[in-house]
Amino acid sequence: MWLAYAGQRVAPRPSGARRGPAGFTLLELMITVAIIGILAAIALPAYSEHLRKSARAEAQTLLDNAATRQQQFLVDKRSYAASLSALNLSAPASIAGKFNVTVTALDGPPPSFTLTATAVGDQARDKCPTLTLDSAGNRTPTECW
């Protein structure tokens, strides 16, 4: 017995024969979801740590720039600036919500300053939540610079 299909003659399918695959089984989908979940559980903490390291590096760059401007300010004004705004410097938007930067200037003798970046929010979970740089070039904690 032959069947007509779109103007062509085709042999009938034997009884009990399946058509080609119709889609994914529930088991295949569950295995795929489980694998994606495991990969996400591993990758997300590593990615978050990478973002914290990146913000720390930006804060270190800001402290270095501020220290350089402090030295020029000392040459020009015979004292150190008491704020970042006096140095015509501000924290970039990328670290503004992650670090609070403070300047402590002492008149001396000799004059000195300390720049401190203190982590806030999620950044406080970083291994180095507080970074300092002083007028002598001392950077603490040393393992984070």
Distance, in Å, from the CA atom of 103 to the CA atom of 100, rounded to the nearest integer, reads 10
Q: Within 13 A of 141's CA, how many CA atoms are on the CB side?
A: 9
- The percentage of residues in the chain with a pLDDT greater than 90, rounded to a whole number, is 74
Note the pLDDT tens digit of each residue in 44-84: 999 999 999 999 999 999 999 999 999 999 999 999 999 99
Using CA atoms, how far residue 4 sits from 7, 10, 11, 12, 20, in Å, is 6, 6, 9, 10, 20
Q: Within 13 A of 144's CA, how many CA atoms are on the CB side?
A: 23
pLDDT for res 83: 93
Note the pLDDT tens digit of each residue in 73-112: 999 999 999 999 999 999 899 898 999 999 999 987 889 9
3-state secondary structure of 117: strand
Note the pLDDT tens digit of each residue in 39-50: 999 999 999 999
